[in-house]
Chain A
């Protein structure tokens, strides 16, 4: 796989000025709403501590809790499947569907099925797959992956959606009224709910002590998918486990507040048993998670509950759009998860960060995201996965910073260059920093020169 050049792809997004401006503003709005919710919960930091401790406990005993979940789910009449990778997951889902003659599957949004690229797999085998979440449906109809894990089409504006719907579901061309667009999708989707032979959801959590799959949604589409067709399949990553209902309460209190600044989402649904006369399957998916558990520096990324708070707060994500990461998981959490899937392909993503640490500050399960981003940079440099310009720049910078003499000389040269060089020499391909910004004018004097002139003699006397 060739390396994803995040900076180049981000430039494409920034060229859509209205979209880029809205994207930045909308996500920052969510960050502010999240802060307001946090301020209303005096025990917020204690909840984060507990959530982190529960996840660390569960992950270090994951085998035991998975067995407990499986036993309880089976006792409830649920079929439990295990998939070691995406291919096995897709094959299991296809087998369950095809054995029952399913032609249409309605599903709610699931990052895991995106990760497994399940939709094209099923469609190639003659099964119609309908995404029923509005944002995810927009992305499906536009043949694009979701750009945000909670708000899949946040990079689009009403005009974009209007064009997609007019082209695909026959909405009135040019009608950009958001209520009209949402209603068009509702009306178009409803018959699928009524006629599909199977429904599918992901899972935000699974609970070991009750064998429940828990979904947290707002549109009602997950509950329709699971409660109207006879057959219901839930696909869940093995790290989504929590031991007890009492633990689940902590995560439910944190999730929607962190994600969208809302005390709870409209539907927190718990699926434990097949409906009378129905069938329920749960596919537990590994797909690299058990390997990640063994990575000393990165295993805590498995604590993630996919709230997206780190994305909303990240200045790089907000200004580059999720699609520029070319990965299932964008933003800061993507920068630390994606390289575990393909180090070379995603080796640029840990560099799409200002290292401001805001992601770590807002993470409801206290993943040290920015530190892991830094550690990935080291891993990538050591494995020589850096592109040539960055590698050479780092090598030279390393030598300069290691020697005071060289450093001072470099500063002098840089001042001369910034003052004296013509623009074409400063804003070159070798200086990506200058592509969207002006290089600031250097101060008249370096700190070192100022110190020598004003303080050195005095300091040496005392």
Chain B
């Protein structure tokens, strides 16, 4: 008998004979995006050391990024809204991102409850863009701000993406004496720029 069959057979013999129905999912309503919801997102993300910036009126995202990083470090962009100094590497060569300072992409949506943004291979092109670069900039349309995780998990992206991440702040660790270090193995900073998709 294969291990698969053996395991399933043992489960069938041993599974508790109880009447335990699956609870119906908690219903949720989609709240309109208000300033309060955006503030909730900003506050939640700040817990994790992530910054949320507004795009000043009349300023382009490109100009804001240039202002944030005037020394023009090596930058890879997975969104057509921003032109990088280096092209995104081929999908089978993620290692090339190790020398890149800044990664830029646009999130599919945000979650106010936790200050998270949703990214998948569609947004990242090369998944490692979210991790191997030193600093990550994420554009987020405030119109796609969801209120709760419950609502987020109802989004179709979780059923189609090969890789999907709810990302909340830069990488961090508190493994030595509980002292918080931002920049563990992944990116050392994360900045969300609130702006509608250009073009």
Contact of B48 among A22, A67, A179, A266 (CB under 8 A): A266
Contacts of B98 in A (CB 8 A): 190, 194
A96 at the interface (CB under 8 A from B): no
Contacts of B17 in A (CB 8 A): 60
The answer on a CB contact under 8 Å between A223 and B186 is yes
On B, residues with C-beta under 8 Å from A are: 2-4, 6-8, 10-18, 20-23, 25-26, 44, 47-48, 91-92, 94-95, 98, 113-116, 121, 127-128, 130-132, 149-150, 152-154, 158-159, 161-179, 181, 183-187
**A41's closest neighbor in chain B, by CB?**
B113
Q: How far is the CA of A66 from the CA of B164 in the complex (A)?
A: 22
Contacts of A366 in B (CB 8 A): none
The answer on a CB contact under 8 Å between B176 and A161 is yes
Known: A60-B17, A178-B177, A249-B149. Contact between A227 and B131, CB under 8 A? yes
The answer on a CB contact under 8 Å between A249 and B3 is no
The answer on a CB contact under 8 Å between A262 and B92 is no
Contacts of A194 in B (CB 8 A): 95, 98
Interface residues of A in 315-338 (CB under 8 A from B): none
On A, residues with C-beta under 8 Å from B are: 22, 26, 29, 50, 53-54, 56-63, 66-67, 76, 82-84, 88, 132-135, 138, 151-154, 156-158, 161, 178-179, 181-182, 186, 189-190, 193-194, 210, 212, 218-221, 223-224, 226-228, 230, 238, 243-250, 252-253, 260, 262-278, 284, 286, 290-291, 293-294, 296, 299
The answer on a CB contact under 8 Å between B47 and A262 is yes
5 interchain pairs, CB-CB under 8 A: A63-B11, A224-B131, A252-B149, A268-B168, A294-B15
The answer on a CB contact under 8 Å between A50 and B175 is no
What is the distance, in angstroms, from B180's C-beta to the closest C-beta of chain A? 9
Contacts of B179 in A (CB 8 A): 178
Contact of A264 among B164, B166, B178 (CB under 8 A): B166
Contact of B8 among A67, A212, A224 (CB under 8 A): A67
Contact of A268 among B10, B95, B116 (CB under 8 A): B116
Q: How far is the CA of A182 from the CA of B181 in the complex (A)?
A: 8
Contacts of B163 in A (CB 8 A): 226-227, 269-273, 275
Known: A134-B176, A269-B165. Contact between A57 and B21, CB under 8 A? yes
Q: How far is the CA of A249 from the CA of B113 in the complex (A)?
A: 12
In the A-B complex, the 7 residue pairs with the smallest Cβ-Cβ separation, listed nearest first, are: A220-B186, A294-B14, A273-B162, A135-B175, A220-B171, A219-B184, A246-B25
Q: How far is the CA of A68 from the CA of B184 in the complex (A)?
A: 36
The answer on a CB contact under 8 Å between B114 and A246 is no
Contact of A286 among B10, B15, B159, B181 (CB under 8 A): B10
The answer on a CB contact under 8 Å between B8 and A63 is yes
Contacts of A247 in B (CB 8 A): 22, 25
What is the distance, in angstroms, from A12's C-beta to the closest C-beta of chain B? 21
Q: How far is the CA of A125 from the CA of B95 in the complex (A)?
A: 27
Q: How far is the CA of A62 from the CA of B128 in the complex (A)?
A: 34
The answer on a CB contact under 8 Å between A26 and B127 is no
The answer on a CB contact under 8 Å between B11 and A62 is yes
Contact of A26 among B16, B165, B177 (CB under 8 A): B177
The answer on a CB contact under 8 Å between A270 and B15 is no
Contact of A133 among B15, B48, B127, B175 (CB under 8 A): B175
**A84's closest neighbor in chain B, by CB?**
B3
Scoring A53, A59, A178 by chain B CB atoms within 10 A of each residue's CB, the highest score goes to: A178
**B128's closest neighbor in chain A, by CB?**
A227
Q: How far is the CA of A135 from the CA of B2 in the complex (A)?
A: 37
Contacts of A224 in B (CB 8 A): 128, 131-132, 185-186
Contacts of A54 in B (CB 8 A): 22-23
Contacts of B20 in A (CB 8 A): 53, 56-57, 60
The answer on a CB contact under 8 Å between A62 and B15 is yes
Q: How far is the CA of A67 from the CA of B95 in the complex (A)?
A: 36
7 additional contacts (CB under 8 A) given A178-B177, A264-B168, A293-B10: A82-B3, A84-B3, A157-B177, A189-B185, A230-B92, A263-B114, A267-B168
